[in-house]
Chain A
Amino acid sequence: MAAVKFTLNGNPQTVDAVSAMPLLWVLRDTLGMTGTKFGCGMSLCGACTVHIDGQPVRSCVTPISAVAGKKVTTIEGLSPDRSHPIQVAWIEADVPQCGYCQSGQIMTAAALLSKTSNPTDADIDEAMRNNICRCGTYEDIRRALHRAAELHRAGGVK
């Protein structure tokens, strides 16, 4: 067990955990932040995606020791009030069905938008193809992502 210090959704955070314990389980079980989802445990489905220093990362295969000193953002920290352009567009397009994969979809999409303000369909395919949705909300995700990009370019992004 070792104390790991990092920034979680803008706030300083210290956790005592086995260094190999994945960030996913620290978030969910130790810290009670259940918005980040367990889907596969092998970086295959994308449900557990969070941002580490702004990059989309699969928390299920990221040991807690690797986030020491880093900035971690989860779905709970994307915005305080569902005002991130991705969230606004997701609500507008009514994207989620069961919704279980959507935290990961949204975090991956937000990371895409932060580096590509006007993503093409090919950009979306490349960024989103490793996020699985069994409900098949893909067309709505694509539509919402284009809409979020509009909002983003109009200055709606933080």
Chain B
Amino acid sequence: MSVAVNRRNFLRAGATAAGGLMLGFYLPDRKARAAETPATGNKLNAFVLVGNDDIVTLYIHKAEMGQGTVTSLSMLLAEELECDWSKIRTEFPGVNPAYGGFQGVVGSQSIRSSYTSLRQAGAGARDMLLQAAAQKWGVDKSSCRAEKSTVINTATNARLTYGSLAEAASKLPPPGSVTLKDASQFKIVGKPTKRLDTPGKVDGSTTFGIDIRLPNMLYAVLQRCPVFGGTVASFDDTNAKTVPGVKRVIKISNGVAVVADNTWAAMEGRRKLTVQWDEGKVAANSTPGITQSFAEATQQTDGAPQRKVGDASAALATAAKNLDAIYQTPYLAHATMEPLNCTAWVRSDGAEVWASTQMQSGARTIAAQKSGLPQDKVQIHSEYMGGGFGRRGGSDYVGEAVEIAKAFDVPVKLTWSREDDMQHDTYRPASYCRFAGGVDADGWPVAWTASIACPAFAGANTSTEGVRDIAYAIPNFQVHYHDVNPGVPVSYWRSVGYSQNTFFAESFLDEMAHAGGKDPVDLRRRLLATNGRLLAALELAANKAGWGKPLPAGWGRGVSVVNNIGSNTVQIAEVSVEKGKLKVHRVVCAVDCGAVVNPAGVQQQIASGIAFGLSAALKGGITIKNGRVEQGNFHQYDVVRIDEMPKVEVHIVPSQAASGGIGEASTPGIAPAVCNAIFAATGKRIRQLPIRPEDLA
């Protein structure tokens, strides 16, 4: 494939001070891709450096939170560059206006937004290195070929390494067009590839945000109002200041900070702090009342219409069989293993921020706001994240750190305790869904209505995705939405609205299958008849899972289907319920995520997403009492452990369709697959998460 490149937007070449070929290229952001508009302006948001020492460094504006992006993006570049994989290095360049307005890792976008551009960059650099070699040998470029970081003269078999050509290449104009490989020629892309970031993660040497250390740095913790939206009325720091190591206690907009010469002293100081709060109006809210407000909202008929097909009311009235159900899910914390933290150094002439963040550009905006400095005086150092799951898309913790650091002339590291993290999260919203369904005389679904109440944070779309946009052909279909806001902060959580709505939709569809006397896989086959990709994934999963084959008494299989983040995922869970005890033994997952860059990464992310969704299904729940979160640490907000992890079998549907996302593909489908399996095993229908012992007894 030959791709014309707009030189102004795409490639910029030049020598670097250190020597070597430095190439800038444009990676379109999400918005530009959505609009399918070409890049405009002089945005350069990633760079590749071919060093005189043969080392290829990829400076990438994405960030690594475990999803494998550093590896998969490097594979795309290395493929077209024809470089020796062992010579690849990566660095995070921080935020720079040259990279464009948006810099972040959200919505499983990294590969989707970089698949072609990174290959173009690799191909462009390869082309320039070939040209440099051709000139050196005085031959035509067509008699040169590139292989493993070397250019080979095909006539003489002479060889020149990329490192020896980098400087000459840097003086050449970048190519006006490049030829990309056909997928059949790929040597790296599509092959299971080891992660580049593993070695530093097995010897403790990888630096996460929380590991930043700077000369003269102080350590801070912040006491926030336990009630959402509350503010400091007054505080007494007399006892806090008696703690050895405590330097100062200061009030910021969001609470009272204790600053000390180590983290523990700061925490001890905070324990001895007395703060009076103006709790505000959220103090009146508790989980039972919140649930009640959701229930009442869904009983009203005037919700915001989300999607309407046919005439659901009429079809319900004439259906052969009707069923109604109410489904509920709680607020959820992200509980990243690395508690939130941020290090800031605010000087009069500029500020520096070190943060493990999913949203580098957002971090810079808030740091500028809080420091009072212009954005171009704020430098963001993007660090490895100990998990993100959406939490680090917010920048509240960056703002706090900058506000505290502003009161000091040395760097200050703010660390959140686990309790801070769990009680001041931006939660996956609680949700409530009232369904009505109808099947015809033959048992096939003819009507489906859903009324959803859920606090919005990014409009109704994220609150109803997973119910509103199911792929099933149901002739009469209607979804309404009610935005109910109890004042608990909510935001993105791995797979967003699908995390609860797929549980609702796939469980209720299962109810409809059983109401009509249909096999759950057969029913889905029929309703997906015109969706080739989902159907193929369904057949693959059913086949690999042995759907329909006998199981011991007390065992069951359940299926779920989801299309999100541009990918198609079918899961079949195998569970047993014995003496009221649930065990998830095995999950077969078929995934069609289009063209795959790193199958090993897909395998990892599918298992990871399943573990994350399973924790929510089996254990997760944040509850509110008088405006406060009742859970504080892992003994109250448990997650799946090694002995609860099912065997996950991943089957990738071969595809050269446009790549979909993968980091959030498998999280939505695990809860309904498990709950549908529980129904198959026991006849008990789970309509509320997390699953409680009494639901199984």
A-B CB contact pairs (8 Å), 10 listed: A21-B265, A25-B264, A28-B263, A30-B262, A87-B202, A91-B199, A133-B642, A134-B335, A134-B639, A136-B611
* CB-nearest residue of chain A to B386: A100
Is B213 interfacial (CB-CB < 8 Å)?
yes
Scan residues 361-392 of chain B and give those whose CB is less than 8 A from a CB of chain A. 384-389
The reply to whether B203 and A100 contact each other, CB–CB distance below 8 Å, is: no
Given A1-B244, A39-B337, A47-B337, answer yes or no on A99-B206 (Cβ-Cβ < 8 Å). Answer: yes
Asked if residues B338 and A98 are in contact (CB atoms below 8 Å), the reply is: yes
List, in ascending order, chain B residues with CB within 8 A of A37's CB.
208, 210, 337-338, 386
Q: Which residues of A contact B385 (CB under 8 A)?
A: 98
**How many A-B pairs fall under 8 Å by CB?**
185
Task: Specify which of B66, B244, B647 is in contact with A97 (CB 8 Å cutoff).
Answer: B66
Pick from B174-182, B600-608, B683-691 the stretch touching chain A: B600-608
CB atoms of B337 and A98 under 8 A apart? yes
Residues in chain A near residue B610, CB distance under 8 A: 136
A97 to B210, CA, bound (A): 17
| A14 within 8 A of partner (CB) | no
Indicate if A129 sits at the interface (CB-CB under 8 A).
yes
Contact of B635 among A34, A42, A76 (CB under 8 A): A42
A21–B635 CA distance with the chains assembled, in angstroms? 23
Pairs of residues from A and B, 5 with the lowest C-beta to C-beta distance, nearest first: A35-B204, A136-B611, A100-B386, A98-B66, A99-B201
B203 and A76 contact, CB distance less than 8 A: yes
User: Contact between A137 and B202 (Cβ–Cβ < 8 Å)?
Assistant: no
Q: Which of B147-204 contact A (CB under 8 A)?
A: 194-195, 197-204
Is residue B347 contacting chain A, with contact meaning CB distance below 8 A?
Answer: no
Size bracket, chain A contacts:
35 or more
Nearest B-chain residue to A92, judged by Cβ: B194
Assembly CA distance A39 to B219 (angstroms): 17
How far is the CB of B341 from the nearest CB of chain A, in Å?
9
- Whether the pair B337, A29 counts as a contact (CB closer than 8 A) is no
Indicate which residue in A82, A98, A139 contacts B199 across the interface (CB closer than 8 Å).
Answer: A82
CB of A78 closer than 8 Å to a CB of B: yes
Bound: A8/B589 CA distance, A: 46
Is the beta-carbon distance between A135 and B387 smaller than 8 angstroms?
Answer: yes
B592-622: which residues lie under 8 A (CB-CB) from chain A? Answer: 600, 604, 607-612, 615
Q: Are the CB atoms of A99 and B197 closer together than 8 Å?
A: yes
Q: Select B202's contact among A91, A100, A130, A132, beta carbons within 8 Å.
A: A91
Interface size on B, residues (CB 8 A): 64
- Mask, B625-656, CB within 8 Å of A = 1, is 00000000111000111110101100000000
Q: Are B611 and A98 in contact (CB-based, < 8 A)?
A: no
Say whether B339 contacts A142, CB under 8 Å. Answer: no
Within 8 A of B (CB), among A35-53: 35-42, 44-45, 47
Classify the secondary structure of B's interface with A: loop
- Using a CB-CB cutoff of 8 Å, which residues 258-294 of chain B contact chain A? 262-265, 267
Q: B612 near A96 (CB under 8 angstroms)? A: no
**When the two chains form their complex, are residues A135 and B418 in contact, meaning their CB atoms are under 8 A apart?**
no
Residue in chain B with minimal CB distance to A102: B201
Q: Does B116 contact A (CB under 8 A)?
A: no
Which residues from A are CB-within-8-Å of B207? 34
- Closest B residue to A82 using CB positions: B203
Further 11 A-B residue pairs, CB within 8 A, beyond A38-B339, A90-B202: A29-B262, A32-B213, A35-B204, A39-B338, A40-B418, A76-B205, A98-B66, A99-B200, A133-B337, A137-B604, A138-B641
CB of B67 closer than 8 Å to a CB of A: yes
Question: Closest Cβ of chain B: how far from A43's Cβ, in Å?
Answer: 10
Chain B residues, Cβ within 8 Å of A36: 204
Question: Mask for A121-147, Cβ within 8 A of B = 1, else 0?
Answer: 000110011111111111111100000
The docked-state distance in angstroms from the alpha carbon of A40 to that of B385 is 16
> Does A113 interact with chain B (Cβ within 8 Å)?
no
With A102-B202, A141-B642 in contact, do A97 and B384 touch (Cβ < 8 Å)? no
A135 touches B198 (CB 8 A): no
Give the one of A29, A36, A45 with max B CB within 10 A: A29
Given contacts A42-B635, A138-B645, A139-B645, contact A78 B387 (CB under 8 A): no
Known contacts A40-B633, A41-B417, A96-B201; is-contact A132 B639 (Cβ 8 Å): yes
The distance from the CB of B641 to the nearest CB of chain A, in whole angstroms, is 5
- Judged by a CB distance under 8 angstroms, whether A57 is at the interface is no
Q: A76-B204, A136-B640 are in contact. Are A98 and B633 (CB under 8 A)?
A: no
Please give, as numbers and ranges, the residues of chain A lying within 8 Å of B389 by CB-CB distance: 134
Q: State which residues 47-71 of B face A: CB under 8 Å.
A: 64-68
Are A94 and B195 touching (Cβ within 8 A)?
Answer: yes
Q: What residues on A are CB-neighbors of B388 within 8 Å? A: 98
Q: Hey, which chain B residues are within 8 Å of A106, CB to CB?
A: 202
By a CB distance below 8 angstroms, the chain B residues around A138 are: 611, 640-642, 645
Chain B residues whose C-beta falls within 8 Å of the C-beta of A78 in the assembled complex: 203
Residues of B within 8 Å of A131, CB to CB, are 642
Contacts of A74 in B (CB 8 A): 204
Report if A56 contacts B (CB, 8 A).
no
Of A34, A102, A124, A135, which one neighbours B211 at CB under 8 angstroms?
Answer: A34
A82 and B208 contact, CB distance less than 8 A: no
| A112 → chain B closest CB, angstroms | 12
Among B66, B245, B611, B648, the one with the most A-chain Cβ atoms within 10 Å of its Cβ is: B66
A131 to B645, CA, bound (A): 13
Q: Which residues of B contact A1 (CB under 8 A)?
A: 244
Q: How far is the CB of A36 from chain B (nearest CB, A)?
A: 7
The yes or no answer to A72 lying at the interface (CB within 8 A) is no
Partner of B198, one of A44, A91, A124, A129: A91
Q: How far is the CB of B639 from chain A (nearest CB, A)?
A: 6
Is the Cβ of B264 less than 8 Å from the Cβ of A29? yes
Q: Which residues of B contact A79 (CB under 8 A)?
A: 203
Find out whether the CB atom of B210 lies under 8 angstroms from the CB atom of A38.
yes
Residue pair A124, B642 in contact (C-beta under 8 Å): yes
Residues of A within 8 A of B313 (CB): none
The answer, yes or no, to whether A75 is at the interface (CB within 8 Å) is: yes
B-chain residues with CB within 8 Å of residue A18 when the two chains form the complex: 244-245, 265
Could you tell me if A137 and B203 are in contact, using CB atoms closer than 8 angstroms?
no
Residue of B nearest to A136 (CB): B611
Residue of B nearest to A96 (CB): B201
User: In the complex, which of the residues B245, B386, B609, B640 contacts A99, with contact meaning CB atoms closer than 8 Å?
Assistant: B386
A79 to B, closest residue via Cβ: B203
Residue of B nearest to A75 (CB): B204
Contact residue among A35, A40, A91, A95 (Cβ-Cβ distance under 8 Å from B634): A40
* Distance A136 CA – B609 CA, assembled complex (angstroms): 8
From 76 to 126 in chain A, residues with beta carbon under 8 angstroms from any chain B beta carbon are 76, 78-79, 82, 87, 90-91, 94-103, 106, 124-125
B:334-354 near A, CB below 8 Å: 335-339
Is there an interface contact between B643 and A125, defined as CB atoms closer than 8 Å?
yes
Given contact pairs A97-B68, A134-B387, A139-B645, A41 touches B418 in the complex (Cβ within 8 A): yes
Query: For window 439-483 of chain B, which residues contact chain A by CB distance below 8 Å?
Result: none
Which B residues lie within 8 Å of A44 (CB)?
A: 418, 633-635
For the complex, what is the distance from the CA of A44 to the CA of B421, rounded to whole Å?
Answer: 15
Closest partner residue, chain A, to B261 (CB atom) = A29
Question: B415: CB under 8 A from chain A?
Answer: yes
Assuming the contacts A94-B195, A124-B642, A139-B607, asked whether A21 and B202 have C-beta atoms less than 8 A apart, the reply is: no
Are B642's CB and A45's CB within 8 A? no
Q: How far is the CB of B648 from chain A (nearest CB, A)?
A: 6
Q: Which residues of B contact A135 (CB under 8 A)?
A: 66, 337, 387, 608, 611-612
A100 with B387: CB separation less than 8 A: yes
Shortest beta-carbon distance from A37 to chain B in Å? 7
